[in-house]
Amino acid sequence: MSDGLHIHETPPEGAGPDWTVPQDWSHYDAQEHAVWDLLFARQTAQLQGRACEAYLRGLDVLSLSRPGIPDFAELSDRLTKLTGWQVVAVPGLVPDAVFFDHLANRRFVAGNFIRRPDQLDYLEEPDVFHDVFGHVPLLADPIYADYMQAYGLGGLRSLEFGAIHKLARLYWYTVEFGLIEEADRLKLFGAGIVSSHGESEFALDDPSPNRIAFDLLRVMRTNYRIDDYQQSYFVIPSFEALLKATAEADFAPVYAALETLDDLAPPDVLPDDRLFKRGTQAYWRNKTARAKP
């Protein structure tokens, strides 16, 4: 989430050294709560039959259907009892090392601001709806909760290898834009998809994107887009498989192998990819055709 987006170098005014700020839940006004309620109602309708069971279960056990922007202290009380995770408020994107340290300590950093009514469908930085509605429900799932902590620990190690941009691809193609097999159907779990009205349909139904079976090295070779729908989505068989593929991996040889392999572009398909669906890339062709003067 950090490519091309503005990340401050020093903690902003009022933030601690770990970049957290008080959420100060009482400061939200009626319009901000109304934006949350509108987005929540629209997305939960859209996600029936599309989001994976663990995500829908998380929405339920965390009582996220209560009206208004969640109070992180109350939300953390419920979440900590389930998997030891807390939700802490930050004013926006935080530096990678800070981000990974929070994840490694089971703290999920969530934006303390919400988009304006005229930004419903796209915004530059993750706001409280993207972070809490998109990311937090799955943190109530014990296996996914372990994966997110393992990712944080791996992220801290990746900084030693100068390989954060490779590991960021793993985050992008799973935590943000991952698909999962469930009872022979593809379902959504990535936060960037479940929090997006358009992409929660596009990622499953549109013939344009590739849908490729997850493979750690394959994902870590593959560039991604930060400004529009993905040209490829990767599909995991289960959260157990994702945890196994990453928490048990010794990333040193993975990084060494990546040095010998070319990066791949988002729409690329390899001969040995296990394809659920080869995309037409029509969405992108039409978009680039429209963009030509």
Instruction: Using CB under 6 A, list all residues that contact ligand HBI.
Output: 1-2, 90, 93-94, 96, 99, 109, 126, 168, 171
Contact 175, 135 (CB under 8 A): yes
In this chain, which stretch among 33-41, 95-103, 123-131, 150-158 interacts with Fe ion, using CB under 5 A?
123-131
Tokens of 55: 């995500």
Tokens of 121: 């469908």
Q: CA nearest 109: which of 141, 143, 140, 152?
A: 152
Taking the complex as a whole, the smallest distance from the CB of residue 164 to ligand HBI amounts, in Å, to 7
Select from Fe ion, ligand HBI, none the partner in contact with residue 191, using the beta carbon and a kind-dependent cut-off of 5 to 8 Å.
Fe ion
Select from Fe ion, ligand HBI, none the partner in contact with residue 99, using the beta carbon and a kind-dependent cut-off of 5 to 8 Å.
ligand HBI
235: which strand partners? 179, 213
Select from Fe ion, ligand HBI, none the partner in contact with residue 264, using the beta carbon and a kind-dependent cut-off of 5 to 8 Å.
none
Strand, helix or coil for residue 11: coil
Q: CA nearest 241: which of 147, 140, 156?
A: 147
Taking the complex as a whole, the smallest distance from the CB of residue 211 to ligand HBI amounts, in Å, to 21
Which residue's structure tokens are 């009482």?
A: 26
Contact 213, 232 (CB under 8 A): no
Select from Fe ion, ligand HBI, none the partner in contact with residue 93, using the beta carbon and a kind-dependent cut-off of 5 to 8 Å.
ligand HBI
Taking the complex as a whole, the smallest distance from the CB of residue 96 to ligand HBI amounts, in Å, to 4
> Whose Cβ is closer to ligand HBI: residue 195's or residue 208's?
195
Number of residues that bind Fe ion (CB under 5 A): 2
Angle at 45 between CA 176 and CA 286, to 5 degrees: 60
> Whose Cβ is closer to Fe ion: residue 149's or residue 281's?
149
Q: Whole-angstrom Cα distance, residue 280 to residue 269?
A: 12
Taking the complex as a whole, the smallest distance from the CB of residue 274 to ligand HBI amounts, in Å, to 25
Taking the complex as a whole, the smallest distance from the CB of residue 40 to ligand HBI amounts, in Å, to 20
In this chain, which stretch among 36-44, 96-104, 124-132, 263-271 interacts with Fe ion, using CB under 5 A?
124-132
Q: CA nearest 225: which of 274, 176, 153?
A: 176
Select from ligand HBI, Fe ion, none the partner in contact with residue 2, using the beta carbon and a kind-dependent cut-off of 5 to 8 Å.
ligand HBI
Select from Fe ion, ligand HBI, none the partner in contact with residue 219, using the beta carbon and a kind-dependent cut-off of 5 to 8 Å.
none
Which residue's structure tokens are 């987006």?
A: 5
Out of 54, 191, 235, 258, the residue judged to bind Fe ion by CB under 5 A = 191
E-only strand ranges, the chain = 86-90, 107-111, 179-182, 185-188, 210-213, 232-236, 275-277
Residue 159 identity: L
Taking the complex as a whole, the smallest distance from the CB of residue 158 to ligand HBI amounts, in Å, to 9
By the criterion CB under 5 A, which residues form the site for Fe ion? 126, 191
